[in-house]
A and B are shown apart, each in its own frame.
Chain A
Amino acid sequence: MKQSITLGKVTKFMGLGFLSTLKALFTGKLEKEDFIKFLRKIVVPLASILLFIGLWHLGAKTLYDREANFKIEKALEDQGPEAAEVMRACIASGDLSCQPNTLPAPAQVWESYKSLLRDHNIISADKAAFKEKTAALNAKRISEGRAPIVYTGRPSFIDQIVMSLKTVFAGFLLALVIAIPIGILIGLSPTLKSAFNWFIQIFKPVSPVVWYLLVFMIVKTVLIDSTEDSSFVISFISVGLCSMWATLVNTAMGVSSVDKDYINVAKVLKLGPFQKVFKVILPSSLPLIFTGLKITLSVAWMVLIAIELLAQSPGLGLFVWEEFQNGANDSNSKIIVAMFVIGIIGFLLDRLMLTIQNTVSFNKNEGL
Chain B
Amino acid sequence: MNTVLKNRSLLDISDNGLFPPSNVMLDLKHLKKVYPTPKGDYVVLEDLNLQIMKEEFVTIIGHSGCGKTTMLSMIAGLNKISGGNISVLGSHIKGPGPDRGVIFQAPSLMPWMTSLQNVLLGVNQVFPHATKAQRNDIAKYYLQKVGLEDAFHKKASDLSQGMQQRVGIARAFAIKPKVLLLDEPFGMLDSLTRGELQDTLIEIWNKEKITAVMITHDVDEAIFLADRVVMMTSGPKAKIGDILEIDFQRPRTRKTVLEHDDYYKYRKHLIDFLEH
Q: Give 14 new A-B contacts, CB below 8 A, not counting A259-B108, A284-B112.
A: A261-B104, A261-B108, A262-B108, A265-B110, A267-B78, A268-B76, A268-B77, A269-B121, A271-B125, A279-B121, A283-B110, A286-B112, A362-B112, A362-B155
Do B100 and A268 touch across chains, with their CB atoms under 8 A apart? yes
- Whole-angstrom distance between the Cβ of A327 and the nearest chain B Cβ: 56
Say yes or no: is A363 at the interface (Cβ < 8 Å to chain B).
Answer: yes
Partner of B98, one of A261, A268, A284: A268
B residues less than 8 Å from A283 (CB atoms): 110, 112-113
Do B96 and A267 touch across chains, with their CB atoms under 8 A apart? yes
Chain B, residues 76-114, CB within 8 Å of chain A (1/0): the string is 111000000000000000011110111010101011110
Residues of B within 8 A of A (CB): 76-78, 95-98, 100-102, 104, 106, 108, 110-113, 121-122, 125-126, 153-155, 157, 175
B residues less than 8 Å from A267 (CB atoms): 77-78, 95-96
Do A363 and B157 touch across chains, with their CB atoms under 8 A apart? yes
Please name 15 pairs of A and B residues whose Cβ atoms are closer than 8 Å in the assembled complex, sorted by A: A261-B104, A264-B76, A264-B96, A264-B102, A268-B77, A268-B78, A268-B100, A269-B126, A270-B97, A279-B110, A283-B112, A283-B113, A284-B110, A362-B111, A362-B112
Chain A contact residues, majority secondary structure: helix
Chain A, residues 292-323, CB within 8 Å of chain B (1/0): the string is 00000000000000000000000000000000
- Whole-angstrom distance between the Cβ of B3 and the nearest chain A Cβ: 22
A residues less than 8 Å from B78 (CB atoms): 264, 267-268
Nearest A residue to B78, CB-CB: A264
Do B108 and A269 touch across chains, with their CB atoms under 8 A apart? no
Residues of A within 8 A of B (CB): 1, 259, 261-262, 264-265, 267-271, 275, 279-280, 283-284, 286, 361-363
B residues less than 8 Å from A361 (CB atoms): 112
Q: How many angstroms from the CA of A61 to the CA of B177 in the assembled complex?
A: 80
Q: How many angstroms from the CA of A361 to the CA of B111 in the assembled complex?
A: 10
Q: How many angstroms from the CA of A190 to the CA of B175 in the assembled complex?
A: 32
- Whole-angstrom distance between the Cβ of B23 and the nearest chain A Cβ: 25
Do A268 and B121 touch across chains, with their CB atoms under 8 A apart? no
Partner of A269, one of B98, B113, B153: B98
Nearest A residue to B124, CB-CB: A275
Q: How many angstroms from the CA of A264 to the CA of B109 in the assembled complex?
A: 11
Nearest B residue to A271, CB-CB: B125
A residues less than 8 Å from B126 (CB atoms): 269
Q: How many angstroms from the CA of A265 to the CA of B102 in the assembled complex?
A: 8
Q: How many angstroms from the CA of A14 to the CA of B100 in the assembled complex?
A: 44
A residues less than 8 Å from B104 (CB atoms): 261, 264-265
